[in-house]
Amino acid sequence: MVKVVVYYNKDSDTLDIWFGNPEDEVICEEAGEGIILKKDKDGKVIGIEKLYVSKSVGFSENYAF
């Protein structure tokens, strides 16, 4: 079973989803508006970053996690 780790950074309003080791990240590639693919040295996707999360899902800064 693959371990999935999810981080939300309120300061940068980003959501990172890791299904690989974050320390193996070598390449970041924009896949679409506000979506970043994080890849290892072999080009395998090990994580995804979503930018502008609060705007995308429509919650305010007062939303509590």
pLDDT tens column, 12-46: 999 999 999 999 999 999 999 999 999 999 999 99
Residues 6+ apart with CB under 8 A from 17: 4, 5, 6, 47, 48, 49, 50
Dihedral angle, C-alpha 36, 6, 10, 44, nearest 10 °: -20
pLDDT at position 1, please? 67
Q: How far is CA 13 from the centre of its chain?
A: 10
- Radius of gyration for the alpha carbons in the chain, expressed in angstroms and rounded: 13
pTM above 0.85, yes or no: no
3-state helix, strand, coil in the chain (%, to 5): 10, 40, 45
